[in-house]
Amino acid sequence: VSRAVITGAGVVSAFGVGLEPFLDGLARGATAVGPIRSFDASAFPVRVAGEVPVAEVGPAWVSAHLPGHDGAVARWGAAGCFRDRKVAFALLAAAEAWRAAGCGPGERAAGLSVAFGIEHTLFDDLALLFDGRDVDWARGADAPLPPVRIRTPFDLGARVLLAHLALEGPVAVHASACAGGALAVAHAAALVERGAAPLVLCGASDSMLEPFGFGGFCRLGALSPRSEPDACRPFDRRRDGLAIGEGAAMFVVEDEARARARGARPLAAVLGWGSSQDGHRLTAPRPDGAAALRAMEAALRRARVAPEAIGYVNAHGTGTPLNDVAEARALRALLGPAAARVPVSSIKGAVGHLMAASGAIELAACLLPLGRDLLPGTAHHRERDPECDLLVVGEAPAPARPEAVLSNSFGFGGQNAAVVLGRCG
Amino acid sequence: MTAPRRTPGSAAIVGAAAASAYGLRWRGLGAALRDAALAFAPSAQLGATHPGTLASEVPPARAGEDPTDPKARKLMSRAAHLAAMALSRALADAGISSGREAVGYFLGLGASGGPIEELHAILRACAAGGRLDLGRFARDGLPATSPLLAFHLLNNLVLCHGAIAEGVGGPNAAFHSRGSGTFLALEEALWALDDGACERAVAGGADSALHLGTYVELLQGGAIAEGLVPGEGAALLALSRAAERPLGWLDRCAVRRGPDLRAAADAVWDAVDPGAPDWLVLAPWGPPARETLRGVARARLPGAAVVDASAGLGDALAAAPALACAAALDLVSAGGGRALVLGAGLDGAAGAAILSSGGRG
């Protein structure tokens, strides 16, 4: 049976562009949540986020991080692709992963399994159609020059990646909210194991840091109301909501034998995965964590890893009152007595909640223990909530050398995903 | 060096559901399409902005037909509502009343579809002179919207609303689909059954081209001018690893890409290797795909019984392949034999599914 391994990773996060700045930031125990700079958020109820440090994403910024592709980048810029920040983030993370894996023209048969967040609503364009009372949709239908667009296509990022890398393999575009990134990586591993593709570029990208998306989350009441860098405090007694983040994480997942034959160095093995649905309520997770538990159990079963053999859990850990308690209950049920000695942390206090990309970037965070023997800390976790009875790694990263790690991702609407990564010899 | 390609085993079809312009039923759908019964009429949903637009629109549910909770319905997009109705009916058709927490659910879906009135409310509060005032947006625009607007908008909630209503909790995936993503959802359901992730699963697609935003995008992209008739719907197959005398079998499902749609369609045909099916049901995503699929049909199965689902159902986008599968199930369960469902979309990929009779009509 073939084994799927990660041979390259790329990240765009609030720590900057690149996997190393991201892992370095986590290794320092730093936090990158701060005041929003990409739009004027001064009148918004919340004004902080884990924002990628660039005010305006455009061809110049993309080209600076993607040298040698100025022509293509300029064309995508002219076509408006980078008006949706997540498209640029996906491109940069994918290019880094592809390069890091040593992929070239010989890997064109690769597949693509990616997740994105909701379409980016182009309010500036809509405002052009607004006559003071209503939107003149018929005028929009006539596509006046310049054409007025309502939103960017959901799969725009996938189209750009396919064009940039000329990939010829199977394509899957996941739409599973905050579980999407983890499901996209899991699906990539499945495609490799089934022989459907020799390797798969996979991961996720998202940005809700535009007025409509961010405002919608403000309205939903899920955000911490405190506009402070410690807005998100996972598993902490004082937690009061999440901090939005943005960014992307992409990976090259391939058959281990193939990877070794071409001289690629596996960073981690994708050992198992599982998914479930809460089937409970729109606005809250199942309080007992039973559905999340089923996803974790399925992942461990597939990985053939016993719960007590898990050396670290990267929790979904949103910092919302209900989610953290439900996840803690699920983990207690999964780990049993081992819960007292299996360290758990969440990186959402450091970089925010990357929504559709959260599962992917949290798998990238798992490369810290698997590659540098260091567990990410839980930024702003100072007073453990007794209801979250777990061995939570505090603010400082902790040295450890786990053989297998579990990463959880739970989506709005109740989709749950869990992925087990293992150390490669 | 690549692992040998494997294919999942077949699954028994133990139930189905469809919501289409022909109503909330899958039985009779294939026959209606075969008999070329047109279901086009001026769209009610587009009546205010684009009066007279011919469309294939799901009619309002008759009393007692809609199993969704009216309160929950207010938070559903059109596609989510159609999917939720289909899920409830597919589970009932399959007799799956217990153990739903282990039932898998795999869905192809399309663009998000929030209520346009909410968008207008925001713009009324903060747009002037062709510009958006961010300060007014934050102070006045946001409070003008529902706090739960996100539950209309998030694409994956097309899947989740129904799952919540019906208590479905097994393995799952939602794929954005420009045609092939819905075949991918069916294929992933086969894999989930094959590798033991679940014993039973529901799979299909839901979408609406009649959401104003989506329709305007189709207009702007030139699809309407090319002849695309906007449609909508949802359809699901309830699958089981094994069953005695099922409605039918989902024997194979595959998706392939190619340098062009014709090459992709040829590749997926070869991948599922249908032999000489009794029925060929086409599920194109737009007029160019329709021409391609008809060309493949002529070349591969000259003289075969071809049913073009879009001829009766319009272009139901991500729902089209699922509706075509429901129609194919109707044909094979009523008349026996095998059907090949062939689809292609805007994404340069083609999908195919083979359904065969299970003995229970």
Q: Using CB atoms within 10 A of its CB, is residue B259 exposed (0-12), middle (13-18) or buried (19+)? A: exposed
Phi, psi of B54, deg, nearest 5 = -75, 135
Q: Do B168 and A277 touch (CB under 8 A)?
A: yes
**Other C-beta atoms lying within 10 Å of the C-beta of residue B123:** 24
Is the pLDDT at A110 greater than 60? The verdict is yes
Q: Is A174 a catalytic residue?
A: no
Per-residue pLDDT reduced to its tens digit, B156-211: 999 999 999 999 999 999 999 998 999 999 999 999 999 999 999 999 999 999 99
Phi, psi of B209, deg, nearest 5 = -85, 5
CA A4 – CA A255 distance, rounded (Å)? 5
Is the pLDDT at A345 greater than 70? The verdict is yes
CA distance to partner chain A, nearest, from residue B203 (Å)? 15
Q: Do A415 and B124 touch (CB under 8 A)?
A: no
Q: Is A178 a catalytic residue?
A: yes
Q: Do A415 and B174 touch (CB under 8 A)?
A: yes
Chain A residues in contact with B345 by the CB 8 A cut-off are none
Q: Do A412 and B171 touch (CB under 8 A)?
A: no
User: How much is the mean pLDDT over chain B?
Assistant: 94
CA distance to partner chain B, nearest, from residue A2 (Å)? 6
Of the candidates B106, B179, B111, B110, the one whose C-alpha atom is nearest the C-alpha of residue B349 is: B179
User: How much is the mean pLDDT over chain A?
Assistant: 95
* Model pLDDT, residue B132: 82
Of the candidates B28, B101, B95, B26, the one whose C-alpha atom is nearest the C-alpha of residue B244 is: B95
Q: For strand A4-13 and strand A268-277, is the pairing parallel, antiparallel, or unpaired?
A: antiparallel
* Model pLDDT, residue A147: 66
Chain B residues in contact with A140 by the CB 8 A cut-off are 216, 220
Which 8-state DSSP code applies to residue A420?
Answer: E
Closest alpha carbon within chain A to B214: A150
**Chain B residues 82-111 within an 8 A CB cutoff of chain A:** 100-101, 105, 109-111
* Model pLDDT, residue A195: 95
Q: In the structure encoding, which two tokens stand for residue B163, read together?
A: 């799952």
Please indicate if any CB of chain B lies within 8 Å of the CB of A411.
yes
Chain A residues in contact with B209 by the CB 8 A cut-off are none
3-class SS of residue A20: helix
* Model pLDDT, residue A143: 58
CA B115 – CA B208 distance, rounded (Å)? 13
Q: Do B164 and A282 touch (CB under 8 A)?
A: yes
**Chain A residues 260-279 within an 8 A CB cutoff of chain B:** 261, 274-279
Chain B residues in contact with A153 by the CB 8 A cut-off are 111
Give which of A122, A131, A137 to mutate to test B binding, by max B Cβ within 10 Å: A137
The amino acid present at B25, given as its one-letter code, is: R
ipTM > 0.90 for the complex: yes
A360 contacts A183 by C-beta, under 8 angstroms:
no
B124 contacts B144 by C-beta, under 8 angstroms:
yes
Per-residue pLDDT reduced to its tens digit, B262-289: 999 999 999 999 999 999 999 999 999 9
Chain A residues in contact with B2 by the CB 8 A cut-off are 195, 197-198, 255, 258
Per-residue pLDDT reduced to its tens digit, B301-334: 998 889 999 999 999 999 999 999 999 999 999 9
Is the pLDDT at A141 greater than 80? The verdict is no
Please indicate if any CB of chain B lies within 8 Å of the CB of A171.
yes
Q: Is A424 a catalytic residue?
A: no
Q: Do A277 and B349 touch (CB under 8 A)?
A: no
Per-residue pLDDT reduced to its tens digit, B67-126: 999 999 999 999 999 999 999 999 999 999 999 999 999 999 999 988 888 888 888 888
- The label of the residue with tokens 């749950």 reads A416
CA B231 – CA B223 distance, rounded (Å)? 13
Could you give the percent of chain A with pLDDT greater than 70?
98
- The label of the residue with tokens 């409830």 reads B88
**Chain B residues 104-163 within an 8 A CB cutoff of chain A:** 105, 109-112, 116, 119-120, 122-124, 127-128, 130-132, 134-135, 137-139, 141-143, 145-151, 153-157, 159-161, 163
* Model pLDDT, residue B55: 97
The residues, any chain, with a CB within 8 Å of residue A143's CB and separated by 6 or more, are B219, B220
Please indicate if any CB of chain A lies within 8 Å of the CB of B255.
yes
Q: Do B219 and A143 touch (CB under 8 A)?
A: yes
Could you give the percent of chain B with pLDDT greater than 70?
99
Q: Do A128 and B130 touch (CB under 8 A)?
A: yes
* Model pLDDT, residue B220: 85
Catalytic option among A120, A174, A316, A381: A316
Q: Do B2 and A153 touch (CB under 8 A)?
A: no
How sure is the predictor about A145, in pLDDT bands with cuts at 50, 70 and 90? very low
What residues does A308 pair with on adjacent strands? none
Of the candidates B250, B275, B262, B279, the one whose C-alpha atom is nearest the C-alpha of residue B353 is: B250
Closest alpha carbon within chain A to B268: A170
Catalytic option among A353, A366, A381, A388: A353
Per-residue pLDDT reduced to its tens digit, B19-28: 999 999 999 9
Per-residue pLDDT reduced to its tens digit, A371-407: 999 999 999 999 999 999 999 999 999 999 999 999 9
CA B302 – CA A308 distance, rounded (Å)? 61
Q: Using CB atoms within 10 A of its CB, is residue A396 exposed (0-12), middle (13-18) or buried (19+)? A: exposed
Q: Using CB atoms within 10 A of its CB, is residue B5 exposed (0-12), middle (13-18) or buried (19+)? A: exposed
**Chain A residues 281-300 within an 8 A CB cutoff of chain B:** 281-283, 291, 294, 298
Q: Do A219 and B149 touch (CB under 8 A)?
A: yes
Cα dihedral sign for A61, A67, A71, A72?
A: negative
DSSP B90-137: HHHHHT--S-GGG-EEEEEE-S----HHHHHHHHHHHEETTEE-HHHI
Chain B residues in contact with A123 by the CB 8 A cut-off are 122-123, 132, 137
CA A189 – CA B291 distance, rounded (Å)? 35
B319 contacts B233 by C-beta, under 8 angstroms:
yes
How sure is the predictor about B300, in pLDDT bands with cuts at 50, 70 and 90? very high
Per-residue pLDDT reduced to its tens digit, B130-148: 778 899 999 999 998 888 8
Chain A residues in contact with B196 by the CB 8 A cut-off are none
